[in-house]
Amino acid sequence: MSRVSVPPPTCLQKPLRVPHRYMFGPGPSNVPPRILWAGASPVIGHMHPEIFEIMSDIKSGIQYMFQTHNNVTLAVSGTGHTAMECAIFNAVETGDSVLTAVNGIWGERAAEMAERIGARVNTIVAPPGGYFSNAEIEKALSKYRPVLFFLAHGESSTGVLHPLDGIGQLCHKYNCLFLVDSVASLGGAPLYMDQQGLIDILYTGSQKVLNAPPGTAPISFSERACQKIFNRKTKPVSFFLDLSWLANYWGCDGKPSRLYHHTGPVTAFYSLRESLALLVEESLERSWERHQKVAEYFSAGLESIGLKLFVKEKNVRLPTVTTIVAPHGYDWKEITAYIMKTHNLEISGGLGPSVGLVLRVGLMGYNSSTANVDMVLAAIKDALKHCHKSKV
Ligand code: PMP
């Protein structure tokens, strides 16, 4: 007699259905067919030589995308948060001082991650939409003497592209590692890991400008970062994210053989490889230029229909994620829901400190085109005509 007491669910006896949707929120973005097909290639062993070759191609692609010669460059199995934790858990030991720049949600999250491993965390805080001068950063570095300083290059919750020039030099002056989150910006705005700002740890995600499915996160560590990480007194709190293991799995530690650490998500590696190949085909410079032009075209279109950009200074607007001041008199949730229902198109409201203040539109990678801008503008105009507007 069968001992099965939980019956087979009827929901799983129906076919899988996923609608097509325009993914113009802050991520994930739409995945072009070539990347989807790559991900549908057969699964082979994560330690097979063909996979090691694909991982090596990915490493070269990340070095190009990050503009770095760092040897310890790889993709973490997980989303952007996994890369954040990989950076923080490896670079910080219990009791270390950490400084995070909070001008949106990402500095808050980085602070919480460092707190969870027993670091002494301090923050510098700017209002949503704001950013920090190098003088403010230097003041905090000299006061708190952190081992790690976190900054988001693209603050996707507020739409700010943070200037980077000179900050790495300041961090180095105070013997601190410079950690930059570029999940929302990389590939869409210029960033030179080695030259600009002397960044020590940089990471991004697969599902934004790269247009791959979520689930892999490119990351790179400078020589200085490796010096600190590989000479820690204590082991990192996470086995899964331990850089010594990851560097070995990705063939970055010079050892003759690679050991089994975890089962790499091979189909996600295929997609990531293909997304990097598409970026190489277009070139970084052309991708940056396209994102900038499309973002400017979008800003002009928004202003022409009477909407305001949340980030006042043009030169610090993130070209991948545009933040619009939440239209007065409307409920932002009604606007995003109307656009989803009527236009099959995702845009989103604020996140963390920007909730209620903004609407956010992400046009990233393959989605960054003037035709898509026209589509979003038409959807927003339609929503403003049909959603309820209070008289007060
Ligand atoms: N940092 C930034 C700037 C982001 O925009 C995001 C994703 N919205 C993350 C980190 C976290 O990435 P994920 O959702 O892939 O974990």
Q: What does 351-364 look like in DSSP terms, one character per residue?
A: -GGGTTTEEEEE--
Phi/psi of residue 243, nearest 5 degrees: -65, -30
* Regions of the chain with pLDDT less than 70: 197
How high is the pLDDT of residue 1?
82
CATH topology of domain 33-280: Aspartate Aminotransferase; domain 2 (3.40.640)
CA–CA distance, 181 with 103 (Å, rounded to integer): 13
pLDDT of 119? 98
The count of other CB atoms within 10 Å of the CB of residue 87 is 31
State pLDDT tens for residues 279-328: 999 999 999 999 999 999 999 999 999 999 999 999 999 999 999 999 99
Q: How far is the CA of 49 from the centre of ligand 1 (A)?
A: 31
Ligand 1 atom index nearest CA of 84: 10
Among 76, 102, 106, say which to mutate for ligand 1: greatest number of ligand atoms within 8 Å of CB.
106
Give the Å distances, CA to CA, from 139 to 133, 134, 177, 181, 206: 10, 9, 16, 21, 35
Token pair listed for 17: 């259905």
**Using CA positions, which residue lies closest to atom 13 of ligand 1?**
80
Neighbour-count burial of 392, counting CB atoms closer than 10 A to its CB (0-12 exposed, 13-18 middle, 19+ buried) = exposed
Gap from CA of 16 to ligand 1 centroid (Å): 27
> pLDDT value at position 197?
66
Q: Report residue 103: phi and psi, to 5°.
A: -130, 35
Across-strand partners of 161?
A: 154
CA 190, 195, 200, 201 dihedral sign is positive
**Bridge partners of 158?**
none
Write down the residue that tokens 């310890």 correspond to.
Answer: 72
Closest atom of ligand 1 to 106 CA is 1
> Strand 321-325 vs strand 358-362: parallel, antiparallel, or unpaired?
antiparallel
DSSP structure string for 69-118: --SEEEEEES-HHHHHHHHHHHH--TT-EEEEEESSHHHHHHHHHHHHTT
Distance CA(277)–CA(296), nearest Å, equals 27
Nearest to 120 by CA among 96, 136, 144, 92: 96
CA of 208 to the centre of ligand 1 (A): 9
Q: What is the ipTM, given to two decimal places?
A: 0.99
Q: Which residues line ligand 1 (CB under 6 A)?
A: 26-27, 79-81, 106, 152, 154, 156, 181, 183-184, 205, 214
pLDDT of residue 391: 77
Cβ neighbours around 175 below 10 Å, total: 12
Do 100 and 150 form a contact (C-beta atoms < 8 A)? yes
Residues 6+ apart with CB under 8 A from 100: 107, 108, 110, 111, 114, 121, 122, 123, 124, 149, 150, 151
In ligand 1, the atom with minimum distance to the C-alpha of 207 is 15
- CATH code of 22-28+283-386, in short, is 3.90.1150.10
Question: Closest ligand 1 atom to the C-alpha of 27?
Answer: 8
pTM of the model: 0.97
How far does residue 341's CA lie from ligand 1's centre (Å)?
A: 25
Look at ligand 1, atom 14, and give the residue with the nearest C-alpha. Answer: 80
Q: What is the DSSP letter of 350?
A: -
The candidate with the shortest Cα–Cα distance to 273, out of 31, 40, 56, is 56
Atom number, ligand 1, closest to the C-alpha of residue 157? 5
Q: List strand residue ranges (DSSP E) for the chain, in order.
A: 22-23, 72-77, 97-102, 120-125, 148-152, 154-155, 160-161, 177-181, 201-203, 216-221, 321-325, 345-346, 348-349, 358-362
Q: Give the Å distance between the CA of 323 and the centre of ligand 1.
A: 16
Q: 295: closest CA among 188, 378, 186?
A: 188
Of ligand 1's listed atoms, the one at least distance from the Cα of 83 is: 16
- State CA 253 to chain mean position distance: 26
Domain boundaries, the chain: 22-28+283-386, 33-280
Residue 3 among known ligand-binding residues? no
Q: Which residue has the tokens 């948060």?
A: 81
pLDDT at 177: 98
Q: Which of 84, 109, 156, 209 to mutate to test the pocket of ligand 1 (most atoms within 8 A of CB)?
A: 156
Angle at 154 between CA 110 and CA 72, to 5 degrees: 65
β-pairing, 22-23 vs 345-346, is parallel
Cβ atoms within 10 Å, residue 326: 21
Distance 184 CA to ligand 1 centre (A): 7
Distance 306 CA to ligand 1 centre (A): 30
Residue 159 CA to ligand 1 centre (angstroms): 13
Q: Ligand 1 centre from 29 Cα, in Å?
A: 12
Probe ligand 1: pick from 183, 318, 351, max atoms within 8 Å of CB? 183
